[in-house]
C-alpha cells in the first residue's frame, strides 16, 4: 500500500466524524463498553494509543464491536506497526514519521496518519505521497492559526490535528478548509471510564459528533 493509497483511506476514515477519540486504556475490561459508548454517540473511528500494556488487547476487543473502525496510535517502530496490524488495527497514527515506519506501513498495508509539526516535515511527507497528515502537538506547535497559515502555501495537505484540543477550541480547527477532523481525549474522561459511566461518554461523543466542519 503506497503512501498515496494510505492517505485516500485515511481521508475516508477522517471524514466519518469531526472528532477521532484518542484513547489511553489501562483496564482491558473497559475496552469494549468504551467502544460501544463512543460509537453510539456517533464517533466510529477510534484511536487506541500504544501507551499501556493492554493496548493491543484493547484493539482486539474493540475491533469486535460492530460499527467501529479501530486504529493504533503512538506507532514508533516497525514492530509497533506489525503488532498493531496483527491485533486488528485498521489504521495507524504516529507522532512523527521515519522512513522505517513508513516502509513498515507500506509492507503491512496499514493506512498511516503520519505526524508532522513543521512546514519542512509536512512537505517531506507530501513528497512521499501523504496528502493527509496528523498535526502534532497541535496547540503547542501553533494551533489553528498555524494551520490556517500553512494552508495557503501547502493547500494539497489536509490534517487531523491532535494534542491539547478540547471541545471549546475544536471549532477553531474544524472551521478551516484544510482540517478533516480533530483528535481529542476529552470524549473519554478517565473518571467516567473508571466509574463505568458509559452514558456520560455517549453524551460527550454525541456532542462532539455534532460539531460543524468546513473541509
Cα 87-116-126 angle, rounded to 5 deg: 95
Q: Classify the C-alpha dihedral 98-187-215-5 as positive or negative.
A: positive
Among candidate residues 134, 139, 158, 168, the one labeled active-site is 134
134 is catalytic: yes
Q: Which one is catalytic: 11, 47, 85, 158?
A: 47
Cβ count near 110 (within 10 Å): 22
Residue 168 falls in the annotated catalytic set = no
Where in 45-123 does DSSP place strands (E)?
45-49, 69-73, 91-93, 112-113, 115-116
CA distance 50 to 5: 24
| Cell, residue 74 | 503512538
Q: Please identify every residue annotated as catalytic.
A: 47, 134
Amino acid at each position: 500500500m503506497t503512501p498515496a493509497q494510505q492517505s485516500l483511506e485515511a481521508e475516508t476514515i477522517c471524514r466519518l466524524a469531526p472528532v477521532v477519540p484518542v484513547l489511553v486504556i489501562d483496564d482491558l475490561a473497559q475496552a469494549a463498553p468504551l467502544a460501544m459508548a463512543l460509537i453510539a454517540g456517533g464517533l466510529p473511528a477510534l484511536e487506541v494509543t500504544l501507551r499501556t500494556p493492554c493496548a493491543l488487547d484493547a484493539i482486539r476487543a474493540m475491533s469486535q464491536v460492530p460499527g467501529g473502525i479501530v486504529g493504533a496510535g503512538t506507532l514508533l517502530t516497525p514492530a509497533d506497526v506489525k503488532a498493531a496490524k496483527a491485533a486488528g488495527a485498521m489504521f495507524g497514527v504516529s507522532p512523527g514519521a521515519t522512513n522505517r515506519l513508513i516502509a513498515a506501513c507500506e509492507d503491512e498495508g496499514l493506512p498511516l496518519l503520519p505526524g508532522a509539526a513543521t512546514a519542512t516535515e509536512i512537505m517531506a511527507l507530501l513528497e512521499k505521497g501523504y496528502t493527509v497528515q496528523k498535526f502534532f502537538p497541535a496547540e503547542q506547535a501553533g494551533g489553528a492559526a498555524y494551520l490556517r497559515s500553512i494552508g495557503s502555501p501547502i493547500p494539497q495537505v489536509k490534517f487531523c490535528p491532535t494534542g491539547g484540543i478540547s471541545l471549546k477550541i475544536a471549532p477553531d480547527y474544524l472551521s478551516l478548509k484544510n482540517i478533516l477532523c480533530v483528535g481529542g481525549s476529552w470524549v473519554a474522561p478517565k473518571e467516567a471510564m473508571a466509574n463505568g459511566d458509559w452514558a456520560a461518554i455517549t453524551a460527550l461523543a454525541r456532542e462532539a459528533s455534532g460539531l460543524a466542519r468546513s473541509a
